[in-house]
Structure 1
Amino acid sequence: MATLQKSVDKRNSLIQATIELVNNDGFHATPMSKIAKMANVSPATIYLYFDNKQDLVNKTYIEVKSCFMGYAFESYIEKMSVEVGFEVIWKRIAEFKIKESAKTLFLAKCDNTPIIDEISRQEGIKHLKPLLDLWARGKKDGIIKPLSDYLLYAYSINPLSFLLMAQNRGSILLTKLELDQAYEVAWSGIKVYK
Structure 2
Amino acid sequence: MAKLQKSIDKRNALIKATIGLVNNNGFHATPMSKIAKMANVSPATIYLYFENKQDLVNKTYIEVKTNYTTYAFNTYDPSTSVQSGFETIWKRIAQFKLKECEHAMFLAQCDNSPMIDEPSRQAGIKHLQPLLDLWERGKKEGIIKPISDYLLYAYAINPLSFLMMAQKRDAFQLNETHIEAAYQAAWDSIKKTH
Give TM class, smaller chain: over 0.9
Post-superposition shift, 1:172? 1.1
Note the 1:155-166 alignment, pairs <5 A.
155-166=155-166
Aligned to 1:82: 82
The one-letter amino acid paired with 1:41 is V
Aligned to 2:64: 64
| Residues in 1 aligned to 2:61 and 2:104: alpha-carbon distance in whole angstroms | 11
Aligned to 1:185: 185
Aligned to 1:105: 105
| Residues in 2 aligned to 1:193 and 1:172: alpha-carbon distance in whole angstroms | 31
Post-superposition shift, 1:31? 0.6
The one-letter amino acid paired with 1:40 is N
Aligned to 1:93: 93
TM-score (norm 1): 0.99
Unaligned runs of 5+ in 2: none
| Residues in 2 aligned to 1:19 and 1:82: alpha-carbon distance in whole angstroms | 34
| Residues in 1 aligned to 2:166 and 2:42: alpha-carbon distance in whole angstroms | 38
Aligned to 2:54: 54
Unaligned runs of 5+ in 1: none
| Residues in 2 aligned to 1:46 and 1:77: alpha-carbon distance in whole angstroms | 40
The one-letter amino acid paired with 1:111 is D
Post-superposition shift, 1:161? 0.5
Aligned to 2:175: 175
Post-superposition shift, 1:193? 1.7
The one-letter amino acid paired with 2:167 is Q
Aligned to 1:41: 41
The one-letter amino acid paired with 1:18 is T
| Residues in 2 aligned to 1:120 and 1:28: alpha-carbon distance in whole angstroms | 18
| Residues in 2 aligned to 1:35 and 1:91: alpha-carbon distance in whole angstroms | 33
The one-letter amino acid paired with 1:28 is H
| Residues in 2 aligned to 1:171 and 1:15: alpha-carbon distance in whole angstroms | 29
| Residues in 2 aligned to 1:18 and 1:91: alpha-carbon distance in whole angstroms | 27
TM-score (norm 2): 0.99
Note the 1:143-158 alignment, pairs <5 A.
143-158=143-158
